[in-house]
Amino acid sequence: MRRSRSIKLLFMSASVVALTACGEEIQTGVYDTVERCALENPVAECEKSLAAARQVHEETAPRFQAKEDCEQEFGPGRCEPSGVTGGVAGGAAGEQQQASAGSTFIPFMMGYMLANSLRSSSVAAQPVYQRNGASGFFTGTGSKVSDGLGRTMVNSASSVAKAPAMRAPIVARGGFSSYSAAS
């Protein structure tokens, strides 16, 4: 009797964990400007989310030792020295400033993702990037968020729904590819 009760409890616990891991589909949005975001959301929320995404971008964007390595992963003209972020889609600031000897390079933030409703407030505002030769928008860890701008659905349990928690390592070559080496 005791053994069967233990097995039942084990199965019940496992099913709760499995269902929790599945998560629910949450509506989010990917935007490249506050104006585009404001077509579907309150302006104040768009501005707040952009500011939060910029902060996350500064702290967690993929970092490269060489600009060429960054551009190989994200495309020509889509990288800047870290600490020089000009906002969404980079801006002229990154191109006008020279990189110091010890600087690293990060991709331009090509947009940002935010939750589209109070129900999905668990989705963190975060930057999104466009990879060289790939369509759509990706997180800094390489997870695809959406095929384009506007509303999209993400799984609440996926890494896409959560902002990165740590600073990105510096990539010596190749970014997300199998040839990368981080320090």
In a domain? residue 17: no
pLDDT at 124: 74
Give the structural domain span for 63. 25-171
Rg of the Cα atoms in the chain = 19
Q: How many domains does the chain have?
A: 1
Alpha helices per DSSP H over the chain = 2-22, 34-38, 43-60, 67-74, 92-96
Q: How many CA atoms lie within 13 A of 45 on its CB side?
A: 19
Report strand pairing: 144-146 vs 25-31.
Answer: unpaired
In a domain? residue 116: yes
pTM of the model: 0.67
Q: Which two structure tokens, joined as six digits, stand for 97?
A: 């400033």
DSSP reduced 3-state for 153: strand
In a domain? residue 122: yes
In a domain? residue 5: no
In a domain? residue 101: yes
pLDDT in tens, 95-137: 434 445 458 999 999 999 987 654 445 567 899 999 999 999 9
